[in-house]
Amino acid sequence: MVQFAVYPSPFGPIIIGCENNRIVSIRCGRSTVVHCPCAVTDLANTQLQEYFEGKRKFFDLPIELRGTPFQIAVWNALLAIPCGEVRSYTQIAAAIGNPAACRAVGQAANRNPLWIVVPCHRVIGKNSGLTGYAGGLDMKQQLLELEKTS
């Protein structure tokens, strides 16, 4: 069973879900979950705080991606985008061997269960413009700016 822990962040509460000593979800927002921290959620929180402070570029967390095979392929491609860089939906579609799947890549990115750690905020439109982000475009812009300065 997934246990959740809630931690403060510059973007409001972050809810981290853990099951079998693996992080299975990270999201921002209000929550009514019972705060049940464990060593793994505390580790994730520590690494996220370091990231927000500009002290961390890479996450070293035990994660478990849960989704369809296509979603998992997209999320793994997102994990390969270096901190401070961006890719287009077209580039991600090509990277997973399905160049015609740009819209499906966008849908998979929108369903990313591990915000920030799986960096869907690093995906932009092919014209280099910011496009949808579950946390809002302001948050996406702030994360990209944070990565440019760290």
The Cα–Cα gap between 116 and 104 comes to: 20
Q: Which of 28, 83, 102, 120 is catalytic?
A: 120
Of the candidates 90, 108, 98, 115, which has an alpha carbon nearest to the alpha carbon of residue 13? 115
120 is catalytic: yes
* Cα-based distances in Å from 74 to 44, 98, 133, 149: 22, 10, 15, 26
The Cα–Cα gap between 30 and 45 comes to: 16
> Which of the residues are catalytic?
120
